[in-house]
Copies of this chain bind each other. A is one copy, B any other.
Amino acid sequence: MAAQNLRTPGPTPLPPAVREALARDMINHRGPEFAALLRVCVDGLKWAYQVTQHDMVILTTSGTGGLESLVANTLSPGDRLLVASIGNFGERMGQLARAFGVDVTQLDFAPGTAVDPQLVEDAIREDPSIQTVFFTHNETSTGVLNPLQDLAAAVRVARPEALLLVDGISSVGSVSVEPEAWGLDVVVAGSQKGWMVPPGLAFVSISSRAWERQARASGPRFYFDWQRARKSAEQGETPWTPAISLFYALEAGLQLMREEGLDNIFARHRRLAQYTRDGLADLDVRLLADPRFASPTVTTAWLPEGVNGKALLRALDERYGIVLAGGQGNLSGKIFRVGHMGWMTEDELSAVLRAVQAELNSVRATTATARQ
């Protein structure tokens, strides 16, 4: 299998140190070596999440499993949940919660826009039964970063005691998120994003308010039970056999992140996003996301008229080994997406921009010839 220049919004390329860690042999997951590994991973995640008081749980599952754990641990059948959706992953959360019998009120915003804090505040004020609110921090399908701190403030103004749940899967670790300072009760992240780790682990930060809710939530849960995870962690274990190789990788990825420093990581992601947006704009490609809320981790652009998305992605892959992502859901066949999170620099993105330029010029030349 040829190497790919993977520029999708996750999974992301793996640095050599992470790949070496992945190749390590197994250890007993009920022994002192794993206990030490778990501790290093939890400490590193707390550092990247910028939390000191909130608990941190690591689950062997993909991001969607992390979101299911959020529903299973905080919501009971019949509970009202406000889901503010700006794309595919907000939509998915609505589906997931409904599957568990939750009574979902969904606020939908147009693709490319962010959630409007005022509308959230109004929706909560109108409905006294809303005690739980969900936001996607960074919507991977549209390349929009919601103004999470403002949204959290709007929730707190309208309903101070509400439980605030956040999908931070494509933000935490690449973008500053401060669960304690901003009042985010639960924040879920996934290993295959800025952490430079393969998919298969989900991370969850949990406030004391979320633990109180967890004790009361009556929905069924077993594999995803946070309380079991917390109790086992006190013994240096996980309740079920963990994906040990991915913990090795996480330890290595966190080490690289600590060497770079959080502020540098966040600044680099903002810089790479700006570099990508500027480069695409110079190619006369129209960007999807409202520039005020353009994501630091993924840039989305409309396919120019006459350009077939599948053909473009295939040509980029076959001629340059560059793998981008297409649109999801309603945006399928209408946009393309460039991921720039984790182990990435301007160099890799300049190659993406140059390849997109060459392919678009080729299509434009063909179209111009056909019109003559």
Using CB atoms and an 8 Å cutoff, list the residues of chain A in contact with chain B: 1, 3-4, 6, 8, 10-14, 19-20, 22-31, 33, 60-65, 68, 95-96, 99-101, 190, 192, 198-200, 219-223, 239-246, 249, 317, 323, 325
Contacts and interface: CB of A to CB of B under 8 A. Distances in A.
A220 B22 contact: no
Please state the number of chain copies in the assembly: 2
Given A33-B1, A99-B221, A245 B65 contact: no
Contact of A240 (B23, B65, B220): B65
Contacts of A13: 25-26
Given A65-B61, A99-B222, A190 B241 contact: yes
SS of A interface (majority): loop
Contact of A241 (B62, B99, B239, B244): B62
Contacts of A22: 22-23, 245
Contacts of A8: 28, 30
A62 B242 contact: yes
Contacts of A61: 60-61, 65, 223
B222 A96 contact: yes
A104 B165 CA distance: 34
What are the 9 A-B residue pairs with the smallest beta carbon separation, nearest first? A200-B243, A11-B26, A23-B23, A64-B240, A198-B245, A199-B241, A100-B220, A68-B223, A19-B23
Given A19-B23, A22-B22, A222-B68, A200 B246 contact: yes
A12 B29 CA distance: 11
Contact of A198 (B26, B223, B240): B26
B23 A4 contact: no
Contacts of A323: 27-28, 31
A99 B220 contact: yes
A243 B20 CA distance: 17
A368 B284 CA distance: 88
A11 B13 CA distance: 27
